[in-house]
Chains A and B, each alone.
Chain A
C-alpha cells in the first residue's frame, strides 16, 4: 500500500504549485496511471515519492513505513523497495560503465548479495528482460533503444522492489519496440506482483497497462477512477479533451472533439477555484462560486469539477457523449 499527499512548491516571490494535494493509493499488483501533459506535475509527483525532490508537504508511506521525513539511514531500505524507470534510457544509464556493472550495483549496494553473487544474478535479470547474458560487458551506446530500456528495467528490478515508477517508459522508442516493452512490463507485473505508477501523457498506453487512472492538470488530480470507466465515460472536461484529442484509429472513424481554448497557464499562485475554467468549453459562471474539490460521485470515482458535481451529485448520473458546452 502506498499513500501519499504531496505538495510541492518553488519559485521566489511567487509560489509555483507544482503539485497540489495529490492523494493516491496503490495496492500490490496494481498499476495506477498518472496522466497529464507537460506542466501537469506528474513527473514531479513521481520524483517526490522517491525523495529525489523534497515535497513541501504531505506524506508518502510505503507498506506503512513513512518515506517522507525519513533520515538517510531509514530511507535506504525503503529506497530499495521503490525504483524508477526513466523516459530516455540512454540518459538514465551511465555511458562509461558496462551495463552488467550497472545492473549489479543495486544488488550489492543494498546488501542483497556479495559482488560475486551479484554478477550471477545479473545474468538472471538479463534473461528476465529478454536479453542475452553476454551483453553484460557492453556499454549503453552499443545497444539499441529497446535493449537499453530493457537494461534500465533490469536495473530497476535488481534490488527486488515492490513498487516501480515508470516515467514515460516508452516515449523515446519506436512503435514496434514500444509494444515489446509494454508486454514485458505487464508480464513482470503479473509474475512478481509489483505495484506500478505509470506516468505518461500517452493515454493509449495507460489504457492498456493501468487498472486505475488519475488525470492531472496544473498540479492537481482532476479525475480518478478505474481506467475502463474513466475512458469510456469521462467526467471531467479535461479528461474528455485529452481522450478526444488522441488521433483516430482509422481514416474512416468519426470522432467528436472537445477543444480547449488557449494555452495552459503556469501554476503560479493558482486560485482555489477551478483551474481549467479559463479554457474549459463547459465553463459556466457558477463554476467559480466555490473552491474546486476532488469529490467522489460514484463507487471508486472522483472528479474535481464544480459544474459536474453540481449537476450530477445526488441524482443518477448519466453520461452524455460529446457535448459542445451546452451539455446538461
Chain B
C-alpha cells in the first residue's frame, strides 16, 4: 500500500547540512497496523511528515522514494498532493488540543474538510460531520459540533481528530503518538476505537510511538528506529519474543511491568543530538555488545529469521 525506500532527510543549519534520516525503508501492507517505535529524536515524526510532504525548510527531503499504491508522491504537484493528504493518507497528531484550531468550533473544522475534499454542500457536510462524531464514540455529537476545542477533554479532542482524519475516507492513517497526552483509561478507549475502526474500514495504519505497550496492543508489524535509521524490523510477536537489536532489548528492559518489583534497567548515556551522531553504528557508545568495527561501519541489514531483520554487527551474541 505505502512504500518508502531510501528516504533521506536533512536539515540546513548554519553549521552545514545535518542529516536526520539515513535511508529509511519500509512498506505498509494493506489493512495492517505497523508500528514505528523509538524515543524522541529518532526521526519517527520526521518520517511521517516527510511522507506527507509536510516538511518545511530548513528540513528537506534529499533522496528517496515514497509511493502510495504505486503512485510516486514525491514529485506530485502541490495541488495533487493536497488531494492525497486527507483522501489518500490522513494524519493524527500528538497533542490533540493543540492540533485543533482554537478559535473555530469543531463543526466548522469538520465541515471545512468535508466540503474541501468530498465536495458536499454545507448541510450535507454538517450531517456527515455529526455522523462521523458518533462513529468515533462521542455521546452527544450535536453538542460537540458546537463546542470549541478548549471546552472538550483531551480524550474527546482526540476523537474529534480521528473523525477529522477519517472524514475523507483515507486508505492510510498515520497516527503520531495518539495516546501520549491522555489518561490511561482514556488511552484504552482510544486504542479500542482505533482498532475497531481499522478493522471496520480496512485501514492501513502507521502507528508512531515510544510506548512498547501500545505496540503490543495494536501492531502487526514493528520497526524500531534509532538516530534516523531503522535498526530492527519484525512482526510484533517476533519482536517481543526475540528482540535482536541491543537497543530494542534495552527498551524492553527499561519498561516497568506491573508485576514484580524489579527495577527497570536504563540504557546508559542519552540519545545523541542530530549534529553529534556517532560514526559507524550510531548506537555503539551506549551498546553493551559493542565491539571492533562498530565505530567504523554502519551495519547493514541481516536476517534473524524470516521476516525479521536487524542492523547490528554483533546481535548474535546478545540473543539466546
Do A's and B's CB atoms come within 8 Å in the complex? yes
**CB of A245 within 8 A of chain B?**
yes
Q: Mark A290-318, 1 if CB is under 8 A from B, else 0.
A: 00000000000000000000000000000
- Report, nearest first, the 7 A-B pairs whose CB atoms are least far apart: A247-B213, A180-B266, A179-B266, A179-B264, A176-B267, A204-B256, A179-B254
Comparing A13-21, A49-57, A250-258, the segment that makes contact with chain B is A250-258
Q: With contacts A175-B210, A208-B256, A260-B185 known, is A228 near B261, CB below 8 A?
A: yes
Check A207/B184 contact, CB under 8 A, given A174-B39, A249-B213: no
**B213/A203 in contact, CB under 8 A:** no
> Is A74 interfacial (CB 8 A cutoff)?
no
Which residues of A come within 8 Å of B, CB atoms? Answer: 37-38, 144, 146-147, 174-180, 182-183, 186, 201-205, 207-208, 228, 231, 241-243, 245-253, 257, 259-260, 262-263
Contacts of B270 in A (CB 8 A): 144, 146-147, 176-177
A183 and B184 in contact, given A247-B217, A253-B216 (Cβ under 8 angstroms): no
Chain A residues within 8 Å of B271, by CB: 144, 174
User: Closest chain B residue to A211 by CB distance?
Assistant: B261
Interface CB pairs A-B, < 8 A, 8: A179-B264, A202-B256, A231-B259, A242-B185, A246-B213, A247-B216, A249-B257, A263-B153
Could you tell me if B155 and A263 are in contact, using CB atoms closer than 8 angstroms? yes
Which positions 33-73 of chain B face chain A at CB distance < 8 Å?
Answer: 39-40
Contacts of A242 in B (CB 8 A): 184-185
Query: Is B89 in contact with chain A by the CB < 8 A criterion?
Result: no
Is B184 within 8 A of A182, CB to CB? no
Q: A174-B39, A204-B256 are in contact. Are A251 and B265 (CB under 8 A)?
A: no
Q: Are B183 and A175 in contact (CB under 8 A)?
A: no
Q: What residues of chain B lie closer than 8 Å to A251, measured between beta carbons?
A: 215-217, 219, 236-237, 240
Q: A180 to chain B: which residues have CB within 8 Å? A: 266-268
Given A144-B270, A252-B237: A246 touches B258 (CB 8 Å cut-off): yes
- Whether the Cβ atoms of B258 and A176 lie closer than 8 Å is no
Is A207's CB under 8 angstroms from B213's CB?
no
B183 adjacent to A207 (CB under 8 Å): no
Q: Which of A144, A177, A243, A262 contacts B258 (CB 8 A)?
A: A243
Distance of A291 Cα from B187 Cα, bound (Å):
31
A176 near B263 (CB under 8 angstroms)? no
B window 79-122: CB within 8 A of A: none
Q: How far is the CA of A186 from the CA of B263 in the complex (A)?
A: 9
Question: In whole angstroms, how far apart are the Cα atoms of A247 and B255 in the complex?
Answer: 12
What residue of chain B has the Cβ atom nearest to residue A244's Cβ? B188
Assign chain B's interface to a size class.
35 or more
Q: How far is the CA of A144 from the CA of B253 in the complex (A)?
A: 22
Compute how far the CA of A245 lies from the CA of B262 in the bound complex, rounded to whole angstroms: 21
> In angstroms, how far is the closest chain A Cβ from the Cβ of B277?
15
| Shortest CB distance A111–B (Å) | 36
> Given known contacts A175-B210, A176-B251, is B264 in contact with A245 (CB within 8 Å)?
no
CB <8 Å contact, A204 and B183: no
Which chain A residues lie closer than 8 Å to B191 at the CB level? 247
Determine the chain B residues whose CB is within 8 A of the CB of A177 once the complex forms: 266, 270
CB-defined contacts of A208 to chain B, threshold 8 Å: 256, 261-264
- What is the distance, in angstroms, from A196's C-beta to the closest C-beta of chain B? 14
Distance in angstroms between the alpha carbons of A207 and B260 in the assembled complex:
8
Instruction: Indicate whether B250 reaches chain A with its CB closer than 8 angstroms.
Output: yes
Interface centre among B156, B236, B256 (most CB of A within 10 A): B256
Tell me the smallest distance from the CB of A281 to a CB of chain B, in Å: 12
Residue of B nearest to A249 (CB): B257
Whether the pair A250, B240 counts as a contact (CB closer than 8 A) is: yes
B142 CB within 8 Å of chain A: no
Give chain B nearest CB distance to A215 CB in angstroms.
12
CB-CB under 8 A for A203 and B184, given A177-B270, A249-B257? yes
B128 contact set on A, CB distance < 8 A: none
Look across to chain B and name the residue whose beta carbon is closest to the beta carbon of A238.
B185
Of B217, B251, B259, B270, which is in contact with the most chain A CB atoms at under 10 Å from its CB?
A: B270
Checking B185, B215, B256 against A205 with a beta-carbon cut-off of 8 angstroms, the contacting residue is B256
| Contact B254–A178 (Cβ < 8 Å) | yes
Take A208-B256, A245-B188, A250-B216 as given contacts and tell me if A38 and B183 are in contact as well, using a CB distance cutoff of 8 Å.
yes
What CA separation (Å) do A208 and B256 show in the bound complex? 7
Q: How far is the CB of B196 from chain A (nearest CB, A)?
A: 14
Per-residue contact bits, chain B 195-214, to A (CB 8 Å; 1 contact, 0 not): 00000000000000011111
On whether A176 and B240 interact (CB within 8 A), knowing A37-B183, A242-B185, A247-B211, the answer reads no
Residues 198-254 (chain B) with a chain A CB within 8 angstroms: 210-217, 219, 236-237, 240-241, 250-251, 253-254
Nearest neighbor of A208 in chain B, beta-carbon distance: B256
Residue in chain A with minimal CB distance to B270 = A144
Smallest CB gap from B184: residue in A: A245
